[in-house]
Every structure is written in C-alpha cells, then in structure tokens.
Amino acid sequence: MHNDSGQLAELLTSWRRRMTPEDAGLPAGSNRRITGLRRSEVSVLANVSVDYIDRLEQGRATHPSPEVLESLSRALQLTRAERSQLFLAAGQLPEPSGVVPRTLSPGGVRILNRMTGLPAAVFDAAWTYVTGNLAWRCLFGDFSAVRPPHSNLVWLHFHGLLGDVIELSGPEREHFEQALVSDLRAAQTRYPNDAAVKSLIAELKLASDTFDSWWRAGVAVEHLAETKTLRHPEAGVIRLDCDILVLPGNDLRMVVYTAAPGTEDANKLDFVLTLGQAHHNSRS
C-alpha cells in the first residue's frame, strides 16, 4: 500500500500543535513560547524517540510500524477517523473489524490525566495495557515501554509476575483468576479476528496449568470491586480499594485505586505519589 510521507508529516505536525500540555496532563510552564506540544513531550507520551518524531515530521521516516502509529494516535488523542487517516497516510491499513479496540477517546485521555491523585490505567478487553496516568506510573511503574504480551495482566498473573506487587489470599486469587479467564474468553468471542488474543490464549494454555484448568472449566465470573493488598518498595504494604470502570464505545476498562481519606493507607499512597512526582520532575 502506498504511503505519503509529506501528508503524514503535515498531519503529525498539525495534530501536535493543536494539543496543549494540559490536554496531555503535562505542566505548561511559565515561559512557554510555542503552540501546542513540543516534540520531546510527544516523545515521552508515545514512548517514541525524539529523533524519530523529527524524521516523521520532516518526511524523512517513511514506514512507521503499526505499533508506532498506535502509540502516536494515543499520545495525540486522535479520533477514530483521524487514526484511520494516520494509518492510511503511513501506508498502513487500520485494524480490521473483529480486532480488539485499543484507542482511548480524547475525552477519556483528559479524564485519566485529570485524576492526579488517583492511580488509574486503561486496559483493553483482553487486559492489555493501553495507557495510565502519572499516579499509576508512580505506584506500578511505566508500562508504556513494555510490549504485549508482557503488558497484559492475564499473561503477567499466570506467569507469576504480579505476586511481588499484589498479594492475594486463596479465595481472592481464585476469583481474580476466574474473572481474568472469563474476560479473555469474552474478548476472543467478540473479536474473532484478533491474532494477538488467539496467540495469548494458546501460549497461556501451554505455560500455565492453572490457566488451562480454568479455561477448560468454562468459568464465567465478573470482576468485583475489591480491596487489594499492594507491596511497594518504599511504602511497604498498602491496602487500596480497586474499582473497574467500563468505558463505553471502545470496550476499554479503567482500573482505579483509591484509599479512604485520613487513613494510614491514604498517607502511604500520598507518599508514593509525592516520591514518584519528584522522580518524574527530576527526569523532565
């Protein structure tokens, strides 16, 4: 499929300049003299090097991958129509029907970034990470640089990689596992053309006897609003309420952690967010 590097460069530059730092959840600063976002800011939001963004906007990079295009689409908060335009200008076909949606609406991005005191992240229907706010990154680290399946919660759990962060009792673990498997089966049913989902399920069946057992059992369990026990390297054990909000339209889930005001857990969460904010500022 033919691509148009000139059109791609023009589109990316235009979309970058129309955004404000506030739209992206970034500090504006008092001496800002440019319109829109800096390329360096888009680089951070999309996890794409500044040099590559420079080359895209100058028409010197002509074949960006679908993964890069998806990251730029999220960072620039493109609508569905704009995302399709981006892919076509880059010589790529937008995802066909039957594939898990992974694009958060511009309004959803703004809501996420305005939740400055609440760790929140968005996952797709198969529980692959889409994006998270700064508070989430302070609590759990930055998932944006991690590629699927390693950014998928089902994969992480059944490979034993969530245990150092989230502690689950026997009954909690059982319900959590059944809910994850139920959601993954539902995603497979709704999006039969998604190769990544098919590959994830096949790999988990081979890698985890527990996953395979729940899958064969045909469990159908819904997630509940629960209190999760988290272990943070600086703050220690924190008990936080975990709620899952379903975002209509794109079949996405927003996971939000909160603590009751005035409690020790709330104080620990504030400590973690302050620590993470200081680290973020030192890198900016």
pLDDT digits (tens, 9 = 90+) for 112-161: 989 989 999 999 999 999 999 999 999 998 777 677 788 999 999 999 99
Please, which residues have CB within 8 angstroms of residue 190's CB and are 6 or more apart in sequence?
125, 251
Strand order of the sheet with strand 252-258?
129-132, 120-123, 252-258, 236-247, 226-232, 166-167
pLDDT digits (tens, 9 = 90+) for 86-110: 988 888 877 666 788 888 888 888 8
- CATH 3.40.640.10 holds for 106-283: no
Could you tell me which CATH number the domain at 5-89 has?
A: 1.10.260.40
Q: Cis peptide before 149, with omega less than 30 degrees from 0?
A: yes
Sign of CA dihedral 270, 271, 272, 278: positive
Average the pLDDT over each of 2-16, 24-38, 40-54 and give the range with the smallest value: 24-38
b/e burial code for range 43-78 (CB count within 10 A of at least 16 → b): bbbbbbeeebbebbbeeebeebeeebbbbbbbbbbb
Whether residue 85 contacts residue 75, with contact meaning beta carbons closer than 8 Å, is answered with: no
| pTM across the whole model | 0.74
pLDDT band, very low/low/confident/very high, at 279 (cuts 50, 70, 90): confident
Domain positions in the chain are: 5-89, 106-283
Of 117, 244, 229, 253, the residue nearest 162 (C-alpha): 229
- Whole-number average pLDDT of the chain: 89
**Full DSSP string of 144-162:** TTPPTTTTBHHHHHHTT-S
Statement: residue 284 has pLDDT above 70: no
pLDDT digits (tens, 9 = 90+) for 192-226: 888 899 999 999 999 999 999 999 999 999 988 89
